[in-house]
Amino acid sequence: MSRKKITLIGGGQIGGVLAQLIAQRQLGDVVMFDIVEDLPQGKTLDIAEASRIGGFDTKVEGTNDYRDIAGSDLVIITAGLPRKPGMSRDDLLSTNSKIMKSVAEGVKANAPDTIVIIISNPLDAMVTLFKKVTGFPHNRVIGQAGVLDSSRFSSFIAWELGVSVKDINTMVLGGHGDTMVPIVRYANVNGIPVMELLERKYGDAAKAKEVMDAMVTRTKKAGGEVLALLKTGSAYYSPASSAITMAEAIIYDEKRLLPVCAYLQGEFGVDGYYVGVPAVLGATGVEKVVEFALDEEEQSALDNSINAVKTLVADMERLGF
């Protein structure tokens, strides 16, 4: 089996962690593209010089020339500004739309057959724009948000219950913004509902609900919590790890069922928008969007989140993208 070629567009904080994780796991040869001269060359050289220690023979190279991304099997895009404290993800719309348009043109011209994972914010709009500019099939254009948001939710539950996070399963759906929808009803510890365990812990349903509500709120605001502490930029270790989970599902054809930003054609009552939903990820990208019954409260929360995505996309179109 020949090695996969994985291109990173954006050699900033997330791009750097991605390159290191891909090298250490020998997922494929890495090309890191950035518009800043010497930055991707310097970062990748630094990572490559650890190859003896990390024990990897895969290549890690940097470039400022789109021609070097030719033949990519997978492209992961982090190009764009991150938030500064006090900003919402949507505040990045105008600047990052410009960047995403140029990235989409570069990828379309040089790696037309690749699968693409987009991380740049505002996520749902950036995925929509990339798809629009490239005309790539929907299954090959995917956004990363839900894997991270679910990991955050799972971490909070594990810390609260004092059990291994490996046994926690959660899903966060909807747009990657304040309206995201953590699905509480199906949050479980190896099949046991989290709500039941909270009720047993506190011996009081009202207190259990209060604790869960706090974890849901913290999940929705988790990106902002890290941002407020870092001050100079937003989270990058956990977003990079989340994209690696998706990349592995695609490269190893794992058919993992993960919450990802996928294009909907009638599923969950939505047509023609990219929204965070459960989907099967395999060798061809999004192989299937998986629907399940939502109760009234969940459906209305998801509808609210979808409306936020629609507003964001309309704002982007009003800006001429």
- Residues with catalytic roles: 176
User: 168 or 222, CB closer to ligand TXD?
Assistant: 222
Query: How far is residue 256 from each of residues 57, 64, 203, 251, 283, measured CA to CA in Å?
Result: 27, 34, 36, 11, 11
Given a contact cutoff of 8 angstroms between Cβ atoms, the answer to whether 246 and 262 are in contact is no
> Looking at 49-57, 116-124, 202-210, 274-282, which segment touches ligand TXD (CB under 6 A)?
116-124
Question: Does position 236 bind ligand TXD by CB under 6 A?
Answer: yes
Q: Would you give the DSSP letter of residue 80?
A: S
C-alpha dihedral, 168 to 174 to 178 to 182, nearest 10°: -20
Helix axes 146-161, 194-202, angle to 10 degrees: 30
Question: Exactly one of 6, 8, 9, 184 binds ligand TXD (CB under 6 A); which one?
Answer: 9
Question: Does position 8 bind ligand TXD by CB under 6 A?
Answer: no
> Looking at 78-86, 207-215, 250-258, 281-289, which segment touches ligand TXD (CB under 6 A)?
78-86
Question: Exactly one of 6, 7, 8, 10 binds ligand TXD (CB under 6 A); which one?
Answer: 10
**Of residues 200-229, which lie at the interface with ligand TXD (CB under 6 A)?**
223
Given a contact cutoff of 8 angstroms between Cβ atoms, the answer to whether 241 and 250 are in contact is no
User: 102 or 299, CB closer to ligand TXD?
Assistant: 102
β-strands 181-182, 172-173 pairing: antiparallel
**Of residues 175-204, which lie at the interface with ligand TXD (CB under 6 A)?**
176
β-strands 168-169, 188-189 pairing: antiparallel
Question: Exactly one of 27, 107, 111, 119 binds ligand TXD (CB under 6 A); which one?
Answer: 119
Name residues whose C-beta falls within 8 Å of residue 190's C-beta, 6 or more positions apart in sequence. 167, 169
Q: Which residues pair with 188 in a beta bridge?
A: 169, 193
Q: Nearest approach, Cβ of 262 to ligand TXD (angstroms)?
A: 14
User: 40 or 282, CB closer to ligand TXD?
Assistant: 40
Q: Nearest approach, Cβ of 35 to ligand TXD (angstroms)?
A: 4
Question: Exactly one of 24, 26, 102, 169 binds ligand TXD (CB under 6 A); which one?
Answer: 102
**How far is Cα 127 from Cα 144, in angstroms, rounded to an integer?**
9
Question: Does position 233 bind ligand TXD by CB under 6 A?
Answer: yes
**How far is Cα 32 from Cα 79, in angstroms, rounded to an integer?**
11
Question: Does position 145 bind ligand TXD by CB under 6 A?
Answer: yes
Residues for the chain: how many in total? 321
> Looking at 76-84, 247-255, 272-280, 304-312, which segment touches ligand TXD (CB under 6 A)?
76-84
Question: Exactly one of 80, 182, 278, 285 binds ligand TXD (CB under 6 A); which one?
Answer: 80
CA atoms within 13 A on the CB side of 46: 12
User: 103 or 294, CB closer to ligand TXD?
Assistant: 103
Question: Does position 276 bind ligand TXD by CB under 6 A?
Answer: no
At position 108, the amino acid (one-letter code) is K
Residue 254 CB coordination number (10 Å): 16
Residues in the site for ligand TXD, rule: CB under 6 A?
9-15, 34-36, 78-83, 92, 96, 99, 102-103, 119-121, 123, 144-145, 148, 176, 223, 233-236, 239
